[in-house]
């Protein structure tokens, strides 16, 4: 299906009316709104830490296999979900605080690979090095592993992996509908990339260094339209 850029997002495959309401909370109503909803930052997944190299009080990104899932309840009634994960260099416990839905997700993906970003530090009780998870994503053979992953501002009920999938689908099917308002001589004069390329690479850059050039291109458009 090719999308009209002014079409409601609910008609994108995998969205529907319920998810469209979540997008609406973020000010996204049309396909055009979606492709101009740029990431707040990007996660460089080329810098993955091996478990044997983890050090306390550090922000880390690991790629590991889920071996075991544990549910603990504190004396004050809070739920802690823990998982034992391992790579070829060792194993470590990773934890989520008061996020019961994570337990089911982990159990469904037992023995599969997971990408985890978070803070490595010593557990205040056991004094063992653990990772407090900020974000995670399961890796399967059907998904392209993003070396530079966009991180979007979200609303409750909408997750990074899903919004990436939806935006990628729109680009795959409708990127050719993005028309460039700048004449070619201006692109050449100011060494600017085409608008279509800039929008796509703002979401899915091949390298972190590309982001500033694409940001410059989009800012130039704003200036040009005001003239």
Distance from the Cα of residue 178 to its chain's centroid: 23
The three-class DSSP label of residue 184 is helix
Tell me the two tokens of residue 180: 């460039």
Residue 49 main-chain phi, psi, to 5 deg: -90, 135
Residue 169 main-chain phi, psi, to 5 deg: -65, -40
The third-level CATH classification (topology) of the domain covering 46-139 is: OB fold (Dihydrolipoamide Acetyltransferase, E2P) (2.40.50)
Among the residues of 73-174, which ranges form H helices? 101-108, 160-174
* pLDDT over 80 at 3, yes or no: no
**What gap in Å lies between CA 19 and CA 24, rounded to an integer?**
9
Domain boundaries for CATH 2.40.50.140 within the chain: 46-139
- 108-165 residue pLDDT tens: 999 999 999 899 999 888 889 999 998 888 887 555 566 788 999 988 888 888 899 8
pLDDT at 187: 83
pLDDT at 224: 62
Among the residues of the chain, which ranges form H helices? 16-25, 31-35, 101-108, 160-174, 184-189, 195-203, 210-226
For 15, other C-beta atoms within 10 Å of its C-beta total 19
pLDDT at 35: 94
């Amino acid at each position: 299906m090719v999308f009209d850029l002014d079409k409601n997002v609910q008609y994108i495959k995998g969205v529907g009316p319920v998810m469209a309401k979540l997008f609406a909370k973020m000010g996204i109503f049309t396909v055009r709104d979606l492709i101009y909803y740029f990431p707040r930052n990007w996660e460089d997944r080329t810098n993955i830490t091996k478990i044997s190299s983890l050090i306390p009080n550090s922000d880390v990104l690991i790629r590991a296999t889920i071996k075991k899932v544990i549910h603990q309840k504190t004396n004050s009634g809070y739920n802690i979900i823990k998982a034992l994960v391992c790579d070829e260099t060792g194993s470590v416990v990773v934890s989520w605080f008061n996020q019961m839905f994570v337990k089911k997700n982990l159990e469904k993906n037992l023995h599969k690979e997971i990408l985890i970003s978070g803070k490595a530090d010593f557990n205040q009780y056991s004094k063992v090095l653990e990772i407090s998870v900020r974000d995670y994503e399961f890796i399967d053979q059907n998904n392209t592993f993003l070396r530079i992953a966009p991180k979007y501002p979200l609303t409750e009920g909408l997750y990074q992996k899903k919004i990436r999938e939806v935006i990628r689908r729109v680009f795959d099917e409708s990127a050719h509908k993005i028309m460039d308002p700048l004449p070619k001589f201006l692109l050449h004069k100011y060494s600017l990339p085409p608008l279509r390329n800039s929008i796509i690479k703002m979401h899915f850059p091949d390298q972190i260094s590309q982001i500033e050039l694409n940001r410059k291109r989009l800012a130039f458009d704003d200036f040009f339209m005001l003239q």
